[in-house]
């Protein structure tokens, strides 16, 4: 019997479906070794050696794997094809090399990016060894994050508030959100005006004029009312819009947020299920590569289903812009282009995500969409002044890849703005009849707050984090109450502001975006075998340790701003009640804490009465599955809903 070891029971089940009776597939059920949480677990004095130990809850799993390996004729370790998977493979190899089991056969490392019979059989026929460079890169990440987290967090306890924690990448992500909030607060909107003229055939907008007040706008409107109009120029050209590349982890999580309103965590969870069931390729990747076999199958399907006019003469290949692109060899695609989404299990929305990945992959191999674009320039003339106006429009001549992503504002599947109708036929010097002119007052807008999609996009652009870290980063900064998600955008809490202020002031290098990105590049170089991880840890730790000691001695304690409620404390009668943020979210306490220890629950009201009891207020509550709405009179009233109830009209 040949033994194949994977991480997930679902993955094991999928493999068992097409591997013969000669194989037994078992799983580690995740990590089997880890750094104990009770201590630093890094021996700084001895080259930063990590103290990985067997996870107590996995003792029975380890015992079972040893027993099966002892009786196997071959052992294959088939953990995921990234650094974390390689580290798990290394730990499996370690437990199987224990003297107590006296393994008679050599363990093989096999790797595949899709769970299909062909991919797995190819991997079995071409086994390799555990890649020590990838393992070292994963060790380096864990050691680096442990040093920052376990050494910086106690300092935050002393200088900001007890119970806080810091993270190398998470703290930088919070800084992005805090910096954006500061930009918004400092932003001063500027007035501007847009002017339009409606003719019998079309509408044009004034160009090449900066209008910052009503006086100027009224002056121009007065001139335009008296002006005569003619077409000064007509330009027509054919333009093409090329398809988007297949998904990477970053673009998939962004699409999940934009199109479905999903968190990055949910998108990755659903993608994990699709991967483990053999439906898509590995979902943690920043590569845009596609295998030749996959492209050929897609091209064959496109020609059969949509016709030769949709098939490019040559396959499309996309250049990977990420500097690392180490996590996997392919972009995210379906493993069988002919499989419809209706055949996919749909417990958590798998059908929607599968369909999106399938269409994106197929579209990436289709011909561009073709448009006719028309630009009409208009000259408005009076005795003393002249103005230029312009109208632009386009119409689709050939849908191409848009066949799979029709531009429809209500469909929820388009990726950019709706197309504009084609402008009417006009000729140069043609006179135009004005129907009316008008001006719209507008104001410049502050930069938008980050949502999940834009935060991930920015992290990727800055080179911060990697495919496997985006979802955990976003989850962690919310769990730690450094930011809140309100109407799908992130707003920093008072603690988020305080911690960021302290870290930026005292650890400017470590909180610098460029420095954090450079550390990621160092991890990539370790994965490539170009540098030693121990050397890089020493380069980081030596100045960081000095700074820790210096800041502990000299830094002032940060005062956390609190939101006042203008209500006197019912206990001491002197202090005012304020809203604070603790480990478990917001709560109300006396401003004189710790002298007065009065506390009460914080109820986030939404301004709607309970539709059931008509007495309580609808409040925001939280659970493991996310935010929901309930009645403030619970448990007397048990109303609960994932959707915000409608406000009853009086």
- Residue 247: DSSP 8-state: B
In our burial notation (b when 16+ CB lie closer than 10 A, e otherwise), range 273-285 reads bbbbbbbbbbbbb
Helices 83-96 and 59-70, axial angle in degrees (round to 10): 70
Query: Exposed, middle or buried: residue 254 (CB in 10 Å: 0-12, 13-18, 19+)?
Result: buried
Q: Which residues of 382-414 are buried (b: 16+ CB within 10 A; e: fewer)?
A: eeeeebebebebbebeebbbbbbbebeeeeeeb
| Residue 370 CA neighbour count, 13 Å, CB half | 8
Name, in order, each residue with C-beta under 8 angstroms of 509's C-beta and a sequence gap of 6 or more: 515, 543
Residue of 106, 98, 84 whose CA lies nearest to 31: 84
Q: How far apart are CA 461 and CA 457, in angstroms?
A: 6
CA 254, CA 289: separation in Å to the nearest integer? 19
Classify residue 418 by its DSSP letter. P
Helix 452-462 / helix 513-527 crossing angle, nearest 10 deg: 70
Catalytic residues: 282
Cα dist. 637→322, 610, 611, 615, 627 in Å?
52, 9, 10, 9, 18
- Quote the distance between the C-alpha of residue 154 and its chain's center: 29
CA distance 383 to 222: 13
Note if the bond before 520 is cis, omega within 30 degrees: no
Q: What is the dihedral of CA 141, 147, 152, 157, to 10 degrees?
A: 110
The SS3 call for residue 397 is: strand
Partner residues linked to 376 by β-bridges? 234, 391
Contact 387, 221 (CB under 8 A): no
C-beta of residue 29 within 8 angstroms of C-beta of residue 92: no
Q: β-strands 2-6, 74-77: how paired?
A: parallel
Q: Give the tokens for residue 2.
A: 């040949």
């Amino acid at each position: 019997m040949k033994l194949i070891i994977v991480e997930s029971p679902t993955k094991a089940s999928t493999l068992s479906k097409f591997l013969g009776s000669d194989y037994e597939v078992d799983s580690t059920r995740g990590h089997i070794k880890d750094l104990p949480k009770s201590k630093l677990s890094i021996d700084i004095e001895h080259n930063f050696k990590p103290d990985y130990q067997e996870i107590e809850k996995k003792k029975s799993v380890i015992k079972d794997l040893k027993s099966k390996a002892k009786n196997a004729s071959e052992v294959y370790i088939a953990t995921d094809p990234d650094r974390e998977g390689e580290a798990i493979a290394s730990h499996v190899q370690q437990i199987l090399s224990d003297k107590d089991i006296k393994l008679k056969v050599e363990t093989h490392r096999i790797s595949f990016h899709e769970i299909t019979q062909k991919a797995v059989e190819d991997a079995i026929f071409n086994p390799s060894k555990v890649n020590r460079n990838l393992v070292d890169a994963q060790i380096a990440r864990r050691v680096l994050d442990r040093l920052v987290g376990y050494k910086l967090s106690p300092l935050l306890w002393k200088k900001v508030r007890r119970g806080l924690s810091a993270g190398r990448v998470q703290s930088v992500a919070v800084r992005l959100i805090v910096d954006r909030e500061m930009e918004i607060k400092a932003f001063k909107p500027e007035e501007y005006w847009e002017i339009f003229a409606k003719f019998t055939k079309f509408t044009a907008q004034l160009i090449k004029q900066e209008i910052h007040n009503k006086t100027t706008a009224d002056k121009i409107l007065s001139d335009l009312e008296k002006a005569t109009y003619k077409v000064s120029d007509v330009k027509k050209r054919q333009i093409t819009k090329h398809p988007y590349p297949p998904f990477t982890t970053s673009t998939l999580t962004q699409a999940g947020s934009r199109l479905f309103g999903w968190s990055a965590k949910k998108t990755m969870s659903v993608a994990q299920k699709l991967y483990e069931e053999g439906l898509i390729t590995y979902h943690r990747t920043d590569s845009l590569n596609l295998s030749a076999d996959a492209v050929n199958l897609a091209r064959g399907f496109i020609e059969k289903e949509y016709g030769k006019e949709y098939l490019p003469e040559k396959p499309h290949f996309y250049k990977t812009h990420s500097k690392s692109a180490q996590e996997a060899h392919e972009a995210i695609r379906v493993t069988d282009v002919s499989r419809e989404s209706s055949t996919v299990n749909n417990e958590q929305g798998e059908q929607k995500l599968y369909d999106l990945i399938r269409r994106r992959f197929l579209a990436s191999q289709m011909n561009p969409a073709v448009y006719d674009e028309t630009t009409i320039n208009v000259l408005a003339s009076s005795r003393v002044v002249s103005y230029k106006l312009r109208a632009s429009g386009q119409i689709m001549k050939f849908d191409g890849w848009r066949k799979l992503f029709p531009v429809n504002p209500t469909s929820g599947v388009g990726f950019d703005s709706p197309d504009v109708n084609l402008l009417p036929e006009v000729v140069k010097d043609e006179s135009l009849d004005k129907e009316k002119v008008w001006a719209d007052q507008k104001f410049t807008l502050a930069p938008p707050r980050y949502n999940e999609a834009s935060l991930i996009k920015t992290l990727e652009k800055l080179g911060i984090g990697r495919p496997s870290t985006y979802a955990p980063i976003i989850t962690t900064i919310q769990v730690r109450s450094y930011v809140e998600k309100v109407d799908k955008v992130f707003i920093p809490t008072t603690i988020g502001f305080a911690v960021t202020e302290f870290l930026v002031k005292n650890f400017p290098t470590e909180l610098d975006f460029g420095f954090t990105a450079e550390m990621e590049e160092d991890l990539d170089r370790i994965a490539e075998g170009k540098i030693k991880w121990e050397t890089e840890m020493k380069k980081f730790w030596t100045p960081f340790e000095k700074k820790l000691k210096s800041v502990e001695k000299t830094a002032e304690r940060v005062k956390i701003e609190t939101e006042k409620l203008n209500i006197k404390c019912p206990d001491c009668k002197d202090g005012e009640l304020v809203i604070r943020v603790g480990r478990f979210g917001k709560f109300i306490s006396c401003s004189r804490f710790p002298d007065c220890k009065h506390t009460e629950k914080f109820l986030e009201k939404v301004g709607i009465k309970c539709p059931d009891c008509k007495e309580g207020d609808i409040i925001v509550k939280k659970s493991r599955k996310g935010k929901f709405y309930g009645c403030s009179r619970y448990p007397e009233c048990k109303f609960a809903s994932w959707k915000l109830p409608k406000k009853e009209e009086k």
